[in-house]
């Protein structure tokens, strides 16, 4: 194989740089591969020839820091490649030009289901143009909403952040002897995996959070308020963890009335503020003390709470991606297959990228009843191996400032 | 001495239970002391005879968990004791009755400057009634705004949380090649200590956060917008850390127009939403992508990021409080005196509680110029010893769930 090129795309996570580190490490170690290049800001860096040599950061020291650096060291983009046709020909020709200029034999793209669409389109394009270039997808999303793969790199660390932080918020909210409600808004546009993780203190047998509102389950304001009222008869504090993407049975997003209807370039509605909306609702309908908390970007960038299992798996899937390319595969995405929960065992294989591109995996309906001990056990068996282990932070000895790798 | 009684009051922190643990440990070890009791929900638990025997949690195992439990294991209150006079006589008589019932020789109160007001009033009352009961204050506030003491237990851990989290937010905000502004809202009604800590990534020599807006410095919207515009000419991302309590030169709180003017029972304005207000301002005046982040209760309850120095000092000041009582002191608050920055050395002494009650300590004006390297060094010398060291979390081996002590 010639040189290889890698890019990162979509929203950041705590583990995406660990997959980058895996590709760099394996790529620079492989005698079949020349130089490992990186594209800044994903596919837009390929289109615009914004390419950087990554061989300089292949030392063990730098790889170790890169694995623990949150967000995306190469930068990201939210650019969706248009279908290959006459009107978009220019863009594809620019991509071809860059790949030829750097003598690229394989393009790796780390991202979610939108990014896998780019991998699928590039693979088609390379084949149509009979270019000897492979396209391989490496999964990444805190949302854990990709099909086929058991889970996605980045999810475990965000789940661990939510588990710990919601546990602490519960302690914080129970100190005053007054009736109060705390609403914690969790990321996850249409899949409730992160909200389930935020509900772990309850799912593992605790009292709280009393309400776990998944986007997969139609939201009823009446039921929400009546559940809170009922819980408040026996306790002072009710905590609800709520997905940003909860909808009424009508399909309308909860709190949408407070938004201006903007959509991002993928056509998704911009969401935020459901927590604030429910805060106002509780104030209006119950009148007790109420606070809403938006965990915002902290749930995707808190590398100080990264799960060791997640960081190690993200690295490994980067290594395996290079191996897949070396074995001649293209148009595929790497994925995890779970072999057993206890002891936790998995294998890493590939699947046709079209099985993942633009598709979503939701929380199964059999898990909606999070009060059922049997369901709680199933959820815990699935989630707990993914959030295992602490990463020892690498910090400046003198100041304690976390060290991050800048590319 | 007879039995002792301890209560917690005001806002929660990561270290306040460690001070409680110090009092329990020293109290149960001291042959001069009978039983260690706790008052639930601060002074209201004394008034209402809501008292619990704490001897049952004096084992090393339980003390270790209590030291790491966020918020307040005995519960809190926001009740300010009225002055001792005829109209409030009934309340004081109830306090006297409870203290006599449990044969209390000293009442310890862990809290901030409002709670120290309670200690001062009780000390006066005990002396006036010639009761053989001492009243001792143990400082606690994440805000670090108590005079006399070098710093307050709880501040170091919150400062460490802010330092780490803002570092991660900076990484997260720099991934897209588009002009964008991130506004992080920090607690601290009138003192900027926490906001300074959030600015540490810059103060230690980094580029960001470019703006550190302290409540001690008059806020100018024009200057805020022009600084952002100027920064955006050379970089894509500007991060501002902003105290919830920033005011215009007129004395009016920034963003107050968006609030309804409610005040808490101490007469402080309810604050929140300055971040959201500045987000709207930037959108209006600059028009680029902008996000506001409220770090909310996480900055006071994130025990997973507790500073070891803070937890250990909080425990030690609890021990010293019992020693002060045994040596016959009353009407005093414990405080830290810094002997040197490097190596970090301090002593713990007492001061008249009236030197602290209802008083505040602000960031010194000589520190307002956080771009001056000399000032940066002074701030770093002050802050860094307080946020040192990691606490190894105590978790359920099987699930990873953090273990907290419930009383």
Question: Residue B301 and residue A172: Cβ atoms within 8 Å?
Answer: yes
**Chain A stretch 282-311, residues whose beta carbon is closer than 8 A to a beta carbon of chain B:** 291, 293-298, 300-305
Q: Can you tell me the distance from the alpha carbon of B214 to that of B247, in angstroms, rounded to the nearest whole number?
A: 9
Cross-chain residue pair A168–B204, CB shorter than 8 Å: no
Render pLDDT for A128-176 as a digit per residue (tens, 0 to 9): 999 999 999 999 999 999 999 999 999 999 999 999 999 999 999 999 9
Mean pLDDT over the full length of chain A = 94
Q: Which of A13, A175, A275 is the best residue to mutate to test the B interface, defined by the most B CB atoms within 10 Å of its own CB?
A: A175
What sign does the dihedral A318-A323-A325-A326 (CA atoms) show? positive
pLDDT of residue B399: 86
Which pLDDT value is given to residue A101?
98
Percent of chain A at pLDDT > 70 equals 96
Residues 6+ apart with CB under 8 A from A284: none
Q: Which of residues 130-189 of A touch B (CB under 8 A)?
A: 160, 163-165, 167-169, 171-177
Alpha carbon B399 to chain centroid, angstroms:
31
Q: Which of B111, B171, B301 best probes binding to A when mutated, by most A CB atoms within 10 angstroms?
A: B171
On the question of pLDDT at A263 being above 70, the answer is: no
Q: Is residue B77 scored above 70 in pLDDT?
A: yes
| Rounded Cα–Cα distance for residues B351 and A394 (Å) | 40
Select which of B114, B117, B123, B143 is catalytic.
Answer: B143
The C-alpha atoms of residue B251 and residue B218 are separated, in whole angstroms, by 8
Which residues does A43 contact at the CB level (< 8 Å), separation at least 6? A7, A9, A77, A79, A81, A95, A109, A118
- Residue B179 has a CB neighbour count (10 Å cut-off) of 18
Name the 3-class secondary structure at B114: helix
Using the beta-carbon criterion (under 8 Å), do B304 and A402 form an inter-chain contact? no
Q: How far is A263 from chain B (nearest CA, A)?
A: 14
Burial of residue B111, with CB atoms counted within 10 A of its CB: 0-12 exposed, 13-18 middle, 19 or more buried: buried
Answer whether B168 sits within 8 Å of A70, measured CB to CB: yes
Check residue B271 and give its pLDDT: 43
> For residue B342, how far is the Cα from the chain centroid?
24
- The verdict on A275 touching B (C-beta cutoff 8 Å) is no
Where does the pLDDT of residue B257 fall: very low under 50, low under 70, confident under 90, or very high at 90 and above?
low
What is the C-alpha R_g of chain B?
Answer: 22
Lowest mean pLDDT among B48-52, B75-79, B396-400: B396-400
Is the separation of the CB atoms in B26 and B323 below 8 Å? yes
Identify which of B70, B76, B176 has the shortest CB distance to residue A76: B176
User: Which two tokens mark A182?
Assistant: 């705390």
Beta carbons of B188 and B159 less than 8 angstroms apart:
no
Residue A265: pLDDT band by 50, 70, 90 thresholds?
Answer: very low
Rounded to the nearest angstrom, the minimum Cα separation between B95 and chain A is 19
Cα–Cα distance measured from residue B393 to residue B403, given in angstroms and rounded to the nearest whole number: 8
**Average pLDDT for chain B:** 94
DSSP string, B302-344: -GGG-BHHHHHHHHHHHHHHHHHHHTT--SEEEEEEEEETTTT
Global pTM value: 0.95
Q: Are B333 and B356 in contact (CB under 8 A)?
A: yes
Residues from chain A contacting residue B401 (CB–CB below 8 Å): 163, 167, 200-201, 204
> Does B274 or B6 have the greater pLDDT score?
B6
Nearest-neighbour CA in chain B from A320: distance (Å): 25
CB contact under 8 A, A71 and B399: no
Q: A31, exposed or middle or buried, with CB in 10 Å at 0-12, 13-18, 19+?
A: exposed
With a CB cutoff of 8 Å and minimum separation 6, the contacts of B126 are B133, B134, B135, B330
- In 3-state terms, what secondary structure has residue A78? coil
CA distance B165 to A401: 11
> In the prediction, which pLDDT does B397 show?
87
Average pLDDT rounded to a whole number, residues A202-209: 95
Chain B: closest CA distance from residue A165 (Å): 7
Cα torsion A395, A400, A401, A402: sign:
positive
Shortest Cα distance, chain A CAs vs residue B129, angstroms:
30
With an 8 Å Cβ cutoff, are A70 and B303 in contact?
A: no
A297·B293 Cβ contact <8 A: yes
The model's confidence at residue A345, banded by pLDDT at 50, 70 and 90, is: very high
What is the model's pLDDT at position A399?
86
Verify whether the Cβ–Cβ distance A201 to B12 is below 8 Å.
no
Residues of A with catalytic function: 143
The secondary structure of residue A190, as a DSSP letter, is S
Which stretch of DSSP H or E encloses residue A24? helix A16-29
List the helix and strand counts (H, then E) for chain B. 13, 11
Percent residues over pLDDT 70 in chain B: 96
């Amino acid at each position: 194989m010639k040189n290889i090129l890698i890019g990162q795309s979509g929203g950041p996570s705590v583990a995406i740089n660990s997959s980058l580190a895996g590709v760099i490490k394996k790529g620079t170690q492989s005698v079949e591969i020349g130089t490992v290049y990186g594209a800044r800001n994903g596919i837009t860096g390929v289109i615009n020839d914004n390419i950087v040599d990554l061989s300089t950061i292949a030392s063990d020291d730098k790889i170790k820091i890169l694995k623990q650096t949150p967000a995306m060291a190469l930068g990201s983009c939210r650019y969706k490649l248009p279908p290959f046709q006459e009107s978009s020909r220019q863009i594809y020709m620019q991509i071809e030009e860059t790949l030829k200029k750097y003598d690229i034999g394989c393009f790796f793209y780390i991202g979610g289901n939108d990014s896998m669409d780019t991998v699928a389109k590039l693979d088609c394009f390379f084949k149509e143009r009979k270019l000897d270039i492979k396209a391989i997808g490496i999964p990444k999303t805190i949302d854990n909403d990709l099909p086929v793969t058991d889970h996605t790199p980045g999810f475990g660390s965000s789940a661990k952040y939510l588990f710990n932080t919601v546990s602490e918020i519960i302690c914080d909210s129970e100190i005053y002897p007054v009736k109060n409600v705390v609403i914690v808004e969790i990321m996850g546009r249409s899949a409730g995996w992160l909200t389930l993780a935020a509900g772990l203190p309850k799912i593992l047998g605790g009292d709280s959070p009393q309400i776990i509102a998944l986007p997969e389950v139609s939201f009823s304001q009446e039921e929400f308020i009546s559940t809170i009222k009922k819980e408040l008869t026996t306790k002072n504090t009710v905590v609800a963890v709520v997905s940003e993407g909860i909808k009424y049975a009508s399909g309308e997003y909860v709190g949408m009335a407070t938004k201006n209807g903007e959509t991002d370039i993928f056509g998704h509605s911009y969401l935020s503020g459901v927590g604030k909306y429910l805060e106002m609702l509780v104030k209006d309908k119950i009148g007790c003390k109420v606070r809403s908390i938006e965990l915002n970007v902290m749930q995707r960038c808190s590398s100080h709470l990264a799960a060791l299992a997640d960081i190690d798996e993200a690295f490994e899937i980067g290594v395996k991606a290079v191996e897949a390319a070396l074995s001649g595969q293209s148009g595929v995405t790497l994925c995890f297959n779970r072999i057993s929960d206890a002891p936790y065992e998995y294998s890493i294989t590939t699947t046709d990228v079209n099985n993942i591109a633009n598709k979503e995996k939701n929380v199964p309906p059999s898990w909606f009843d999070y009060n059922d001990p049997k369901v709680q056990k199933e959820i815990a068996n699935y989630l707990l191996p993914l959030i295992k282990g602490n990463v020892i932070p690498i910090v400046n000895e003198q100041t304690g400032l976390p060290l991050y790798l800048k590319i």
